[in-house]
Structure formats: C-alpha cells, structure tokens
Structure 1
Amino acid sequence: MLVAQMLGPASGPSVVLFWMLAVAALVSGFGVFRLNSMAQVTFALLASFVAVAGEVLLLGLGYLGVVIVLMMVIEMVIMAVFMIMYMMNPAGLMPMAMYHNKAGAMIISVGTFVLLAAGILLVPWPQRAGEPAPDPTFALGEALMGGQMLTMMTLGVALFATIVATVVLATSRGRYDRLGDDLRRPVADDPVPGGVGR
C-alpha cells in the first residue's frame, strides 16, 4: 500500500518491479559480506547500487537515477581494473574474508537494517503539497547549488580540462613521436627497446 502510494496511480506493474528491484538490492548487498573475493564483492556492490538506481527511477527521479548508475558503474569498474593491475592477490579472485568479528558485524548490520525498515513502515509519510516543478532536474540543481550552478558547471569543465592537460603533459612521448607523423614507422623510436609497439 505504501509502495503504491509512492508510485502513484496505475502502478500495478511498477509495484511488482519495485519489489523485484528491492529484493535484488538486498540480496546483492548481503552478498557483499558473503562472497569471498574482492572482484566478486565489487560487482555484487555494483548490482546493489544499480537496483537502487532502478528504484529511484521508478519514483520519477530520472536525473538522480541516471547519476547513480553512471557514478557507480564507473567507480566499480575502475576499482576492479586497479585490483587486477595492482593487487598481490591475483585479480582480487583469491578467497578472503571481507570483514572481521563476523558475529558482531552481522548483529550490527541486521540490527541497522531492521531499525531502518521499521522507520520506513511505522513513521507516517507526509502528504504531497502542491505540484511538482515543471523541470525536476533544474529544480534539484537550484536547490542544491542555489545561484552557484553556473560556477559549478564552469568548475566541472575546468577540472576536466586540467585532468586531460595533466595526462598529456605527463606523457613525454606520444604515439606520433614514437611511430612518426603518419604512424607508419616499422619500429617504434623508444629510448628503451622492448616496450609496447616494438
């Protein structure tokens, strides 16, 4: 009943999808503490966040749902790539315990879940007053940033340009230096032989 109220009228299929995503998020989140390798845990956490993003989309918050998917997918994939590259544990696939004091951690986790679930079910939800904004994305940005939205957008572009420029400057020899202007040099002109491109 509460879910139907949140999703609005004519929400029969949406209610079913809501519960399917809720179960998927819960099972995937629990799997984070049950799986025994970093790689498996990473993708279990990713699946949990994607299911939560689906819930947010069902509630009509398209911008937030898409942002959650983009942030979590990029973050988890980058984490998996770095684990494969740098962990002494090969690719994060060797069995390992993801937490210590298992009994205490389980009690705290289950207790926190029960407390939050009880709050959702027992606390009366407020009734909507007024109509939603014509453009929810713009209204959200205005509420978060106030009059500084243009400043933050400019900063975002400046930070991205800084990252690109830093990578370019850190690479002293690019593909055109090593393989010629037309990239047709048969052997790469590397100061140390045996590298990539030989």
Structure 2
Amino acid sequence: MAVFRVDSMARATFALLASFVFAATPLLLLGLSYLGVLVILMMIMEMVVMAVFMIMLMMNPAGLMPMTMVHNQRGSLLIAGGTFAVLAPGVFLVDWPQRQGEPPPDVTYRLGEALMGSHMLVMLVIGLGLFATIVSAVVLSHPRGRYDRFGDDLRGRPADDPIRGSVG
C-alpha cells in the first residue's frame, strides 16, 4: 500500500524494497535462511540500482518531486476487487493435496538443485554479462551527464548549456 500512497518515485522505490524484505520473511520463518537472505540481498541491490538510475536520469532530482503513482484509480480498484472476488473462493473450494513422504534432510540444497541443476555457473556468468550490458547501454545512450550544462564550475548560474533547448 505504501508504494501507492507516497508521492515520489524515490519513496515508492524504498517502500517497494520494504515490501520485498517483508515478503522474504516467510522464507526465514520456514528455516530457509539461505533463500531468505538471498531474496533480501537481491531485492536490496535491485532497488538500490533502480534508485541510482532514477537519480542519474530523471528530470526531477532523485524522483523526490510530488507525483501521483496511481493511474485510472477507479478502473484499477474495480479490476483488483473483481479478481479477488473470483479467486478468493478457490481457497475454500479447492481440495488441497496431502503430503506424501518426508521432506529431504537439506531442503535448501534440494530446492537449488531442482531450480538450477548443473547450470549455476552459467547463470552467474550470464548475470554478470547482463549487468555489464545494462551499464554499457546507459553509458552509451546517455553521453551527457546530469551536470554537463554547468561545465567545470557547478556553481555557475545561469547554466551555459552547449545544447540549446535542454533543461538548463
């Protein structure tokens, strides 16, 4: 709820981070400490990267200027309420399966094997490659920095923007 109640992108980012941390709490409560901590660390890095790009590229400083985070509020409330009304009875109407057998001694290891198998090293390399690609794409597509229009002296006013029609 906080993501939609705050009035800036930066605050919404950190509210979303808090919700992801709270979503990892059941993993910790189930004794899956590795997965819980992994989810928390992954979400922290994801939201921090999003905040850094927001500060770097948004027109308003750090996404802190007031703005609405909800579009078509009536329509979205109607869709959300209808979806809940259709899906919620399933909790009571569906026959839930019974457990068969005992869980393996190391649930985290078995889950990792089931998800990744022998491809963990490949996924680590792909992750690094994707991160390098994202950083390279931003550097190449945004040749000017945020403060280029001020030149070497950031205190100079008015800004001497080399490209006319820009923000400064």
TM-score range, shorter chain: 0.5 to 0.7
- Which residue is equivalent to 2:121? 153
Question: How far apart are residue 40 of structure 1 and its match?
Answer: 1.2
Q: Does 1:85 align with 2:53?
A: no
The structure whose residues are more often helix, as a share, is 1
Query: Which residue of 114, 117, 123 maps to 2:94?
Result: 123
Q: Structure 2 counterpart of 1:105, which letter?
A: S
Q: Structure 2 counterpart of 1:132, which letter?
A: P
Which structure has more RCO (C-alpha within 8 Å, separation ≥ 6)? 2
Question: How far apart are residue 46 of structure 1 and its match?
Answer: 1.0
Question: How far apart are residue 162 of structure 1 and its match?
Answer: 9.3
Question: How far apart are residue 74 of structure 1 and its match?
Answer: 0.7
- Which residue is equivalent to 1:7? none
Q: Does 1:141 align with 2:137?
A: no
> Counterparts of 2:34 and 2:130 in 1: how far apart (Å)?
26
- Which residue is equivalent to 1:34? 5
TM-score (norm 2): 0.66
Q: Structure 2 counterpart of 1:66, which letter?
A: V
Query: Which residue of 41, 44, 57 maps to 1:73?
Result: 44
- Aligned positions, number: 136
Identical positions, percent: 60
> Counterparts of 1:67 and 1:140 in 2: how far apart (Å)?
13
Question: How far apart are residue 32 of structure 1 and its match?
Answer: 1.6
> Counterparts of 1:61 and 1:163 in 2: how far apart (Å)?
27
Equivalent residue of 2:109, what SS? helix
Q: Determine which structure has more spread, i.e. the larger CA radius of gyration.
A: 1
> Counterparts of 1:82 and 1:137 in 2: how far apart (Å)?
33
Q: Structure 1 counterpart of 2:45, which letter?
A: I
**After superposition, what is the alpha-carbon deviation per residue over 1:97-125, rounded to whole angstroms, capped at 9, x for unaligned?**
22321100122223334545443455343
- Runs of 4+ residues deviating >6 angstroms: 161-164
- The 5 A counterparts of 1:180-195 are none
> Counterparts of 2:39 and 2:87 in 1: how far apart (Å)?
21
Cα distance change, pair 58–117 in 1 and its aligned pair in 2 (3 A)? farther
> Counterparts of 1:114 and 1:75 in 2: how far apart (Å)?
33
Q: Structure 2 counterpart of 1:77, which letter?
A: V
Q: Structure 2 counterpart of 1:101, which letter?
A: N
Question: How far apart are residue 141 of structure 1 and its match?
Answer: 2.0
Q: Does 1:111 align with 2:102?
A: no
**Structure 2: gaps (5+ residues):** 136-151, 154-168
When the two chains are superposed, the root-mean-square deviation of aligned CA atoms in Å is 2.9
